[in-house]
Amino acid sequence: MISKPSRVVIENVLPQVDGGRFPVKRVVGETVTVTADIHADGHDRLFGFLKYRPAPSSPWVLLPLKPLPNDAWTAVFQVIELGDYEYTLEAWIDRFATWRTELEKKIAAGQEVKNEFIEGAQLLQAAAARATGQENYFLNEQAKALLQKSSVEARLKLMASDSLTEALIRYGDRHVTTVYAPTLHVSVEPERARYGAWYEMFPRSAKTTHKHGATLRDAEMQLDYVARMGFDVLYLPPIHPIGKSFRKGPNNIAQAKPGDPGSPWAIGAEEGGHKAIHPDLGTLKDFDHFVAAARKKSLSIALDIAFQCSPDHPYVREHPEWFRHRPDGSIKYAENPPKKYEDIYPLDFECEAWEALWNELRDVVLFWISHGVVIFRVDNPHTKPYAFWEWMIKEIRAKHPETIFLAEAFTRPKVMAQLAKVGFSQSYSYFTWRNTKVELTEYFTELTQTPVREYMRPNLFVNTPDILHAYLQTGGRPASLIRLFLAATLGATYGIYGPAFELVDVRAIAGTEDYQDSEKYQIRQWDLDQPGTLPEWITQVNHLRKTHPALQWDHSLRFHEIQNDGLLAYSKTSVDGKDIILTVINLDPVNPREGWMRFDVKTMAKETAYPMHELLSDAHYTWHGEWNFVRIDPGLCPAQIFHAELPS
């Protein structure tokens, strides 16, 4: 028998990603504000619930939907557990509310309402039949009261009581409802997925007297240095054995000399593969000690995951079926014409033995989780199938929902977006190549104020071992500070590759974004105590990020009008609205810039005068109204970061 169709339509439900194909993202403690258009034919009143639960086996939690203008409805729920939440909407014709509305109209028009009271009593009696115990008694008593000969006004007031409304929400006529499908999902991750400062370091270049570079025990001595600057995550490039075949020399020359250490991304040698430590760095026991020492300093270790192999990797010998082969039987090495990477063999994710390969790569991640790593920076994920990442991330998070994955994919926008959708917690971004006022405004408006924000969280790395932008190469120390302040205040998550960044090593191979004497191919010895460098500035800005909640979120970012194309102004507000940070940056690393800026935050602009605390210089100002004058000299400091002190 065909069930009676519902007259209620639920559409335009937000948030959702690709019609519910992928989950939206939140971290523990955040809220999900759900909106939808819900309507029906005619003038009947509607009612409905937002339904959510942390797991399919849990009972639904029901929240009444609140009406908004133009047939829109909303409700908000909070996610408090790691893992996957699901939510949907259910709505129906509210026959009692419809009856009450029509009754009020007829009474206002002076019409006879005897039959209407009988109809109302029948609705209450039907609800009572669906109730039990005390609520059955209560609803029947209300039906009797409706038929008594008390005044119309008294009976009408009785029908509007909160207790009756609540009882009818539970026991009203809901035999024909509309449930939104498909059920939508929220992926709930740790706070570090939303907010944090990352520091990238090659452990083999830590200070040491060893001729083959530093060990992990040596690198432990540098943990204090990183922690003092206020970083939350210490990211290590691959720490595995490095192949000798076709090893690259300094600055990526084709032939390495004896003693050249090779690229850490050419993974695998006779000492082992992706589950092994390079013997020059130490042992797994040393790595465990390193992770524990970092944890004591409130540093989480992020490990590089690069699913590729050197020709010497044990996989090549043990599982040749996991690689692509040429007609002559040789294994294909990596190429990006005209570049050739003979020291790297890509894996074939579509080989006949793909299931065994996928399981092994999942087990690599599980292996490092067993050694205390829960954050992974994934190298070039855009060169592997989406389906693999979606499967693997789900497999990992089913056992370890605290795991965070960062996608290092500098590629086409839709490819980056798809990787974020299939499960990556964070994404490298185009920030490095956005340097003008127009570029920065357009890009960060897209990231924070459009549907992209529901699934993509940018991690704003100022530089990487692969990318030294021309802006940094030519702008000197002020340019490095400008990019630092932009990254740390535009993004809740940002990172630097050090010590190259804070020591302002901006030497590049001519005509490229490649570092001269790159650590990718050789061991560097850094003088961390040299004058004129940036650690004090980095420490200060990281301290501001920790003490001002406004800087720990992205979605409140708002750009402000400022009458100079070389100046960029934007603010962020904390979730509770009590912390407002305004950043004004001179994008010109050479010349002072000045102009009038419109600070039209409602809380502040209505005040004729209000205090502004400039946090970098600790200067205090009094601003008046919306428009105020700013001047920034990059030779002194290229940015001003204001704390807007709210009126009491």
For CA atoms 465, 466, 471, 475, give the dihedral sign.
positive
Compute mean pLDDT per 10 residues along the chain, 648 residues long, and list them: 85 97 97 98 95 91 96 98 97 92 89 88 91 91 86 84 87 90 97 98 90 91 97 98 95 90 96 97 98 98 98 97 94 85 94 98 98 98 98 97 97 97 98 97 97 97 97 96 98 98 96 95 93 95 98 97 97 94 98 95 71 96 92 97 84
Among 82, 29, 52, 184, smallest CA distance to 396 is for 82
pLDDT for res 603: 66
pLDDT for res 357: 98
Among 447, 468, 456, 425, smallest CA distance to 302 is for 425
Is 522 within 8 Å of 250 (Cβ atoms)?
Answer: yes
**435: in domain:** no
Q: Which residues are catalytic?
A: 379, 408
At which of 142, 158, 186 does a domain end? Answer: 186
pLDDT for res 316: 97
Among 298, 302, 299, 241, smallest CA distance to 275 is for 241
**375: in domain:** no
- Report DSSP state, residue 323: B
**465: in domain:** no
Q: Which domain holds residue 582?
A: 558-644
At which of 186, 218, 240 does a domain end? Answer: 186
**447: in domain:** no
- Please give the tally of structural domains in the chain: 2
Helix (H) or strand (E) holding 63: strand 61-64
For CA atoms 329, 335, 341, 345, give the dihedral sign.
negative
**592: in domain:** yes
Amino acid at 401: P
pLDDT for res 605: 56
* Strand pairing category for 300-305 and 233-236: parallel
pLDDT for res 161: 85
**391: in domain:** no
The CATH number given to whatever domain includes residue 627 is 2.60.40.1180
pLDDT for res 70: 96
The CATH number given to whatever domain includes residue 167 is 2.60.40.10
**Token output for 49:** 């619930």
At which of 131, 156, 186 does a domain end? Answer: 186
**494: in domain:** no
**197: in domain:** no
